[in-house]
Structure 1
Amino acid sequence: MITRLSTKFMNITISTMCKSNQIAKAETVLIDGIKLGLNPDIITYNTLIDGYCRFVGIDAAYNILNRMKEAGINPDVVSYNSLSSGAVRKCLLQKSLDLFDEMLQSGIRPDVWSYNILMHCYFRLGKPEEANGVFRDIFERGEIYPSMASYNVMINGLCKNGYVNNALMLFRNLRRRGFVPEVLTYNAMINGLCKARRLADARRVLNEFCDFGFEPNAITYTTVMKCCFRCGRLEQGLEILSEMRRKGFTFDGFAYCTVVAALVKTGRIEEADEIAEKMMSNGLVPDLASYNTMINLFCRQGRFDEALRLVDEIEKQGMKCDQYTHTIIIHGLCKDGNFEGAEKHLDYMNTLGFGFNLVAFNSILDCLGKAGDIDKAVKVFDSMEVKDSFTYTSLLHNLCRAKKFRIASKLLVASIEDGFQILRATQRAVIDGLTTSGLVYEARKVKLKIQRARLVH
């Protein structure tokens, strides 16, 4: 009795060490325990397997199976479930499938968690048919019954793989099968419907959520609100925001910035500014994505000093601006006609160790062309290390606006021969420009060269 209780105490100590990422100390506790005459049991080793999976690696965790066998303890279903789950977390999906097969070959019967992990693995691999086959297998065997977690895995996996209708049918049948959907279930279903832009269905499920006595959290509301904005239903999105306020939800930076971004995109700058000020006055510490949204708002208003102040604030918060942050500022300066400032900020980016910024160069190129400085735009184009289809399309469009159709035609042919996808409308603009300028023969030659280049690619 004393030994069993002591082993239990040793297991609790090892578990505490493993959860706090002190694997070496956990191993020391095990060694000391064995020296004192304590016999480790299956729980001891399964605890170590889980700790190694989380903090060391799957191979190291798998080696514990051999240590178990040497100690005369056979691995059980929990041992393999921990290994399989750890493999999925590390994105070693094939390894997880191999472990499931090894478990079967060892004569260990899978439990419902084994099947849940297997289904999750298949969904992550983009094999929803196989996952559905495993789910059906649970029913057909009749030995193991699916849990609520099984349905959550299925609903979430089906939504993420584009089978939203199937997920909704399964969701509707839950109560008939004796299950009550959890908050996690509703959130997965609502998120899937929102990503499929099925706003009406998402709102319906959200209302059901409340009718059954559940309290949607801020994530639920923010998901639906973002869907409203994506679908162009700005007023509905703002209604969701008002509902969140009425119910006393504490907004995070993501919720506020979702609203600000939507208002900025629709040109409602004053309202966006009010929401942004409210966010700051509530003492919320934004994350980098939130700061980027605020910087975008200030740049669109021409408030570059405030945008740069936020860049300094990001550094004070211990965060680092990413390439997107600086690109927003460069684009804003270009739109404002301050090309000198944009180029200086681009040079500043280089001093920070950022690589070639294609998006920023494309912005400078496009804005120079639209401002009528086509010669400088061409110089920027020639200086670019990397170009994409947008680079060529933008310059071609602006060359046509400047009536420089011959230069545009040479560039068009060269870009298509190099395999870039140029918009058909841009191609027509170049050819029509040559024709209306009296260069009919050159227009025909360009058409022929384009046709040949298409055959090659």
Structure 2
Amino acid sequence: MFDRLSTKLLNISIASLCRTKQLEKAEAAIIDGIRLGVLPDVVTYNTLITGYCRFVGFDAGYSVLHRMKEAGVNPNVVTYNSLMAGANKHCSLSRCFDLLEEMLNIEIVPDLWSYNTLMHCFFKSGKPDEAYRVFHKIILQNISPCQTTFNTLINGLCRNGYISNALTLFRNLQHYGYIPEIVTYNILINRLSKSGEFWAAMRLFDELRGSGYVPNAITYTTVMKYCFRRKYFNKGLEFFFEMKSRGYTYDAFAYCTVVGALLKSGKIQDASKCMTDMIKNGYELDVVSYNTFINLYCKEGRLEDAYQLLDTAEKGGLECDKYTHTILIDGLCKAGSIDGAERHLNYMKMMGLDCLVALNCFINGLCEVGQIDYALKVFQSMDVKDSFTYSSLIHNLCRARRFHQASKLLLSCIRAGMRILRSDQRVVINGLKLSGFRNDAAKLALEIQMAKLLHY
């Protein structure tokens, strides 16, 4: 009895250390336990395997299996399920198959979680047909599917572009008495919104509210995010306040989503109040939170405060990303500090960060202060360009009535295989017409059509 209790306490300790990523201490605890006569069991090693697979890698987790066998502890189905989950995390379908074969060779019968993991791995690898065959195998072997099985199936179908099939399955399951969890609704609402079927997602959201379930923080955050993306700011804020009134513990991401939307709609004071509320509630700031704060300060023209915040973030051990520096460069450009923006851009290049979006902001900033020729020089020096790089220059050249130069840039954009905005095409052609160059405008329209046929 004492030995069993001691091993149980050892397992609790190992689990706590693994959860906090202290794997070396977990290994040391096992050694200390053995010295004291407390022998690890299969649960001990399974916990260690899960920790290594999650925080180090599959190979590190698999190496524990060999040590486990050397210690005379036989693996069980949970051992292999943990390893399969580790392989699935790294999208290694071949390793999942190897583990399944290894299980069968030592006469360990796969259970529902083995098949759920394999099905998930097939979906992640872009093989929905094979994943569906695994589901049929579950049914044929008289294994009762669980909520996770159905959620994996629905999410996998959506992930591979079969949203209508996922919805059909969802409705068929309901018809046969399946009661979906809120997680299932969240999966479908997110995937429908992501694929552009926003109103179908909203109908599902209304169905969720009418089904007796109360939407959770994830549901609200999802619908808020897509409301803001579609510029339904009032609707998004309505969901935020509804979420707040229900007493949900919403995370920093929800706050940052709302603040970002308020900034885009020009409601800077409301955004500032929201961020103040976030700090009062004691949320720990991550890189996204810092980026949102820095963006807010730049919108308010408080560049010194923005730089102080950047310094605080870096001193706190946070590694600021390309978005942090791009926000600052954009803020400097809008404040008219082109030299400061260029210095920060050079610093960003020195750090080896992706500067495409920052360069787009810098080019637009140069054009805003009338330095179009320098903007063109920066444009020519860029190794990588996107449609926004071209679009910004085209519009600014047209504002300066340099329509012929804009038309050449427009054609080079199409010939580079990039899609142009209709507004870019329209502003150049209309500019040529209004300037009296009707023949050039007609010629450009024809050249655009020919270029599209050749390069799209």
TM-score (ref. length: structure 1): 0.79
Instruction: Provide, for residues 138-191 of structure 1, a one-character-per-residue CA deviation record: whole Å limited to 9, x for no partner.
Output: 22332x111222123223333333434443444455566565544434443443
Change in 2 beyond 3 A, CA 1:52/1:229: closer
Q: CA separation of 1:402/1:238 partners in 2, compared to 1, >3 Å: closer, same or farther?
A: closer
1:25 to 25, 28, 31: 28
Give the Cα separation in 2 of the matches to 1:450 and 1:174.
Answer: 49
TM alignment of 1:58-457, pairs within 5 A? 58-62=58-62, 75-104=75-104, 107-142=107-142, 144-172=143-171, 180-196=179-195, 197=198, 198-208=200-210, 211-212=212-213, 216-350=215-349, 353-355=351-353, 357-408=355-406, 411=409, 419=417, 421-423=419-421, 426=424, 451=450, 455=454
2:411, 2:451 within 8 Å by CA — same for their partners in 1? no
Deviation at 1:287, TM superposition (A): 2.2
1:397 aligned counterpart, secondary structure: helix
Deviates further, 363-372 or 165-174: 165-174
Deviations along 1:255-299, whole A, 9 cap, x unmatched? 222112112222333332332333334343332212222322332
The structural deviation recorded for 1:324 is: 0.8
Secondary structure of 1:98 counterpart: helix
CA distance in 1, matches of 2:357, 2:231: 26
Contact in 1 for aligned 2:116/2:152 (Cα 8 Å): yes
Q: Aligned letter for 1:125? A: S
- Label 1:129 to 1:19 Cα distance change in 2 as closer, same or farther (>3 A): farther
Query: How far off is 1:112 after superposition?
Result: 1.0
Once the 2 structures are TM-superposed, how far is the Cα of residue 67 of structure 1 from its aligned partner?
Answer: 6.3
The more displaced of 165-174 and 229-238 is: 165-174
1:78-114: CA deviation from partner (whole Å, max 9, x where unpaired): 3322221121123323311332244345554321111
Over the aligned positions, Cα root-mean-square deviation in angstroms equals: 4.0
Q: CA, structure 1 residues 57+454, in 2 after alignment: closer, same or farther (shift >3 Å)?
A: same
CA contact (8 A) 1:335 1:367 kept: yes
User: Which stretch shifts more, 323-332 or 398-407?
Assistant: 398-407
Distance between the aligned counterparts of 1:117 and 1:50, measured in 2? 14
Q: TM-score, normalised by structure 2?
A: 0.79
Whole-angstrom CA distance in 2 between matches of 1:238 and 1:333: 29
Equivalent position amino acid for 2:202 in 1: A
CA shift, 1:327, in A, is: 0.9
2:10 and 2:33 in contact (8 A); partners too = no
Query: Where does the alignment leave 5 or more consecutive residues of structure 1 unmatched?
Result: none
Q: 1:47 to 1:292 in 2, by over 3 A?
A: closer
SS in 2 for 1:286: coil
Opposite residue 209 of structure 2, the aligned amino acid is: N
CA spacing shift, 1:269–1:453, aligned 2, 3 Å: closer
Given that 1:368 and 1:377 are in contact with CA atoms closer than 8 Å, whether structure 2 keeps it comes out as: yes
User: CA offset at residue 207 of structure 1?
Assistant: 0.8
Preserved contact between residue 199 and residue 228 of structure 1 (Cα < 8 Å): no
Structure 1 residues 101 and 405, CA gap change in structure 2 (3 angstroms): same
Secondary structure at the counterpart of residue 403 of structure 1 = coil
User: Relative to 1, partners in 2 of residues 1:239 and 1:442: Cα closer, same or farther, differing over 3 Å?
Assistant: closer
Measured in 1, the distance between the counterparts of 2:127 and 2:90 equals 18
Sort the Cα spacing of 1:8 and 1:86 in 2 relative to 1 into closer, same or farther, 3 A: farther
1:274 & 1:43 partners in 2: Cα distance?
49
Quote how far apart the aligned CAs of 1:418 are.
5.1
Whether the 8 Å CA contact 1:296–1:328 is kept in 2: the answer is yes
Letter of the 1:130 counterpart: E
Q: Which residue of structure 1 aligns with residue 10 of structure 2?
A: 13
Maintained 8 Å contact 2:330/2:358: yes
Task: Report deviation, 1:341.
Answer: 3.3
- Distance in 1 (CA, whole Å) between partners of 2:430 and 2:235 is 45
Distance (Å, rounded) in 2 between the aligned partners of 1:369 and 1:45: 63
- Equivalents in 2 of 1:303, 1:61: separation in Å? 49
**Cα shift at 1:124:** 1.3
Counterparts of 1:261 and 1:324, CA distance in 2: 13
Q: What amino acid is the match of 2:113?
A: W
* Bigger shift: residues 121-130 or 46-55: 46-55
* Contact 1:199-1:227 within 8 A present in 2 as well: no
How far the C-alpha of 1:69 sits from its partner, in A, is 6.6
1 CA distance for matches of 2:344 and 2:156? 44
3-state SS, counterpart of residue 367 of structure 2: helix
Deviation at 1:417, TM superposition (A): 5.3
Q: Number of aligned residue pairs: give it.
A: 446
User: 1:261 touches 1:293 (CA, 8 Å); kept in 2?
Assistant: yes
Cα gap change, 1:155 to 1:283, in 2 (>3 Å): same
Partner of 1:337, secondary structure, is coil
TM-aligned CA deviation for residue 75 of structure 1: 4.8
Residues 381-429 of structure 1: CA deviation (Å, up to 9, x unaligned)? 3444543443334323333433334544555565555555555664676
Distance (Å, rounded) in 2 between the aligned partners of 1:89 and 1:443: 55
- Quick one: distance in 2 between partners of 1:58 and 1:356? 30
Q: Answer whether contact 2:414 2:448 (CA < 8 A) is retained.
A: no
Residues 66-75 or 390-399, more deviating: 66-75
Residues 14 and 47 of structure 2 are in contact (CA less than 8 Å); yes or no, is this contact kept in structure 1?
no
Contact 2:10–2:30, Cα closer than 8 Å, also in 1: no
Cα deviation, residue 323, structure 1: 1.8
75 and 342 in structure 1: CA distance in 2 versus 1, 3 angstrom threshold? closer
CA distance in 1, matches of 2:47, 2:400: 71
CA separation of 1:60/1:30 partners in 2, compared to 1, >3 Å: closer, same or farther?
farther
Structure 2: gaps spanning 5 or more residues = 18-22
Distance 2:127 2:442 in 1: 50
